[in-house]
Structure 1
Amino acid sequence: MITISEVGPRDGVQSLDFIVDIEVKKRWITAEAAAGVPEIEVGSFVNYKRLPQMQDTTALVKHALTLPGLAVAVLVPNLRGAQAAVEARAHKLSIPVSASETHSLRNVNRSHAQMIDEVAAIRALVDDLPTEARPSIEVGIATAFGCTIEGHVPQSTVTDLAERLMEAGADEVGLSDTTGYADPKMIRDRVRAVQTAIGARHITGVHLHNTRGLGLANALAALECGITTLDASLGGLGGCPFAPGASGNIVTEDLVYMLEAMGHSTGIDLPSLIAARKDLAEALTAARSDAPVYGFLADAGLPLHYTPPERAAQ
C-alpha cells in the first residue's frame, strides 16, 4: 500500500494570490477523504500576516477531525505553531527545516541551529502530553536537492542535518524537492544516503515538485528505494513563495493513476478523486478566471480498460 498525503489545502493554497474561501476548502477536504485519501495536510500554523491564506487553519483542523479515518496533518515552523497545533489536536506535525540556510532564513527566519532548537522544544512539548494525545513529528528537509538561492546543496549537508534532527527528537525525516531540481538519480542517491545515516524506518516519505517535468519519474525512483508515502496536490497546485521559481507539486490524481495502473494499491477511488478535482477547479476559476490548475488525467479521462488493483485481484 502506498500512502498518498494530500498537501493542496496547505502547500497548494499558500502560493495563490487570492484567498480561497474556507467553505471551498472544507468541501475539498471532505471530498478527498471520501475518495479514500488517508492523510491531508489541511493548513499551517504560521504568521498569518505573512501567509493570510492560512488564517483558517484551526477551523479546518476541527472540520477534518470529524472525517472518519482521516489523518490530519499541519505544518508548524516553530514552537508557537506547534502549541497551536497541539491545542487544535492535529494528528501530525510537519516541521520545515531547509538544507539551504539562506532559504531557511527567508522561509522561517531561523538558522539551522535555531531550527534544531525548535525541533527539540517541540519534542518536549509533545512528550508532556498523554501518550494517546501525542501527534507524530515529521521534519521535512526542504531544498534537499538544491536551492534557487544558494544553488547546489551538498548531499553531506542533507545527511548531517537528518542525523541532527533525529537526535533533536523527530520521529521521522522526509526529503523535499522544494525547488524542483531533483532527478531520479539524485532521488535514489539522497534517499539511500539518508536511509544509511538514520535508518530506513525513519525516512518513509518525500515531497516532490513537478517544476521541470520530472515529478512522476522522481516518485518512481523514490518507490524503488522503499519510500511508501508520497506528497501530492490536487490539480498540481503549489510551490514555495519563499523560493523563487519553485512551482507546482506533483498532481495527486495523475500520481494515483500511475500507481494504480502499475498495480500499487493506494486505497483511493479515482473517479471520486477526479470529481473532487473538477469541483475544486470550478471553485477556483469562479474566484479567479486564470486560477492555475494542472494535470492530464482529468482532461484525458481513464482508459476504457482501467481496473483498480483491488478489483483486478478478484
Structure 2
Amino acid sequence: MNWPKSVKVIDVTPRDGLQDATGELTSEQKIELCKDLYAAGVPSVEITAFVSPKWVPLMRDAETVANALRDQPDTIALVPNHKGFERALRTGVDAVTFVVSASPIHQRENLRMSLSDSFEQFRGIAQTHASSQIRLRGAISCAFGSPFSTESITPETVADIAREYVDSGAVELSLADTVGVGTPQAIYDTILLVKQRVGHDIPITLHLHDRYALGLGNIVAALAAGVTVFETALAGLGGCPFVPDAPGNLDTEQVVHWLHLMGIHTGIDEHALVHVRKRLLKDLDASMVKQGKLR
C-alpha cells in the first residue's frame, strides 16, 4: 500500500464534541479552545453550529464564537438550513457544512424537514451566494448505517445524495458514520461509488464515530479509496443528540499519533494536543462541579 504523504485532520470538538456534552464551556473557553487547536497545528476547525438553541442549547453562542475567530485560518460552521446559513455568513466564517441525512427518520428528527426540502434550501443558498467566497460543504449523516432497524442505507443511496449535492453547488463532501456502524468494506465501497458518481475532483472528508473500535481500520479503508481528509474530536467527545446511544467521535490525538506512526504528515503537534485536551476536560469537569453534578 502506498500511503499518502500527508493527511488533513479537521477537529470538530467545538461543535460535535460539545453539542451534547455533559459539561458546558463558556463562550470565552470555546474561543480559547479553537485558538489552542489552531496553535497546535490543526489546519481547520469546525468552530460552532448555527442551529436553533431550542434543539441544541449548547450552541446558542454561535455568533459570539464565530465573530471572535474571524482572524483564524479556515473556520468551518455547521448549518442545517437557510436561516443558519445567513447567520453564519454574517460572521465571516470560511466554510459552512450543510447537513442532510441518508436516514429518512433521522432527517426528520434532526432537521425537522424532508430531504427534498433540505435540498431546496441548499440550492437556494448556492444560487443566491454563487459569487461569495464562502465554501459550501455538503455533509451526509448516517452514510454507513441508520440508527433505526427499520431502515437500510445502501452505497447507492449515499451516492445519489452526493450527486445531488454537487449538482446543487457543493464543492466538498463529508460522509459521516453518525451511528458508528461502518465497516472497512462498507467505507471503501461507498467512497468508491461516490467518487464514481461525482467525479474525482470533489474532495471527500470522512467523519467517523467509533462504536465497535473499527475506527482506525475504517481510516485505512478510506485511505485506500483515496480519502485524505478526516474529522475527529479531542478525547473522542461528541455524538448526535438525535441518535439513541450515539457513540463518540474518533479521538484526534489517537488518529494523529497513528498517522504519524505510519509516516503520514499532518502538521499537528501531538504534545500540544495533549495540553489542549487536558485543559478542555478540566474545564468541562469544573462546569459540572459548578452545576452540582460532580463533587
TM-score by length of 2: 0.93
Post-superposition offset of 1:233: 0.3
Post-superposition offset of 1:200: 2.0
**Structure 1 residue matching 2:129: 3-state secondary structure:** helix
Post-superposition offset of 1:125: 2.8
| 1:26 equivalent in alignment to 2:25 | no
Match of 2:52 among 47, 54, 78: 47
Post-superposition offset of 1:21: 1.4
**What is the CA deviation profile of residues 133-156 of structure 1, one whole-angstrom value per residue up to 9, with x for unaligned ones?**
x21111111101011124421221
Q: Work out the CA distance in 1 between the residues paired with 2:268 and 2:155.
A: 34
Q: Work out the CA distance in 2 between the residues paired with 1:203 and 1:111.
A: 26
Match of 2:10 among 5, 16, 21: 5
Q: Work out the CA distance in 2 between the residues paired with 1:128 and 1:87.
A: 15
* Maintained 8 Å contact 2:11/2:46: yes
- Alignment root-mean-square deviation, CA: 1.4
* Residue identity opposite 2:98 in structure 1: I
* Maintained 8 Å contact 2:13/2:46: yes
Q: Structure 2: which 5+ residue stretches go unaligned?
A: 1-5, 290-295
Q: Work out the CA distance in 1 between the residues paired with 2:169 and 2:87.
A: 19
Post-superposition offset of 1:18: 4.1
Post-superposition offset of 1:66: 2.5
Aligned residue pairs: how many? 284
- In the other structure, the counterpart of 2:238 is 238
* Maintained 8 Å contact 2:136/2:170: yes
* Maintained 8 Å contact 1:119/1:168: yes
- In the other structure, the counterpart of 2:3 is none
Q: Kindly, what percent of the aligned residue pairs are identical?
A: 33
Post-superposition offset of 1:32: 0.8
Q: Which has the higher contact order (CA 8 A, sep 6+)?
A: 2
Post-superposition offset of 1:128: 4.6
| 1:197 equivalent in alignment to 2:197 | yes
Post-superposition offset of 1:282: 1.0
TM-score by length of 1: 0.87
Post-superposition offset of 1:34: 0.5
Q: Summarize the alignment of residues 119-158 of structure 1 with structure 2, pairs less than 5 Å apart.
A: 119-129=122-132, 134-149=133-148, 150-158=150-158
Q: Work out the CA distance in 2 between the residues paired with 1:55 and 1:177.
A: 25
* Maintained 8 Å contact 1:117/1:168: no
* Residue identity opposite 2:153 in structure 1: V
- In the other structure, the counterpart of 1:258 is 258
Post-superposition offset of 1:106: 0.5
Q: Work out the CA distance in 1 between the residues paired with 2:143 and 2:196.
A: 16
Post-superposition offset of 1:241: 0.6
**Structure 2 residue matching 1:144: 3-state secondary structure:** coil
Q: Structure 1: which 5+ residue stretches go unaligned?
A: 290-314
Cα distance change, pair 32–256 in 1 and its aligned pair in 2 (3 A): same
* Maintained 8 Å contact 1:195/1:203: no
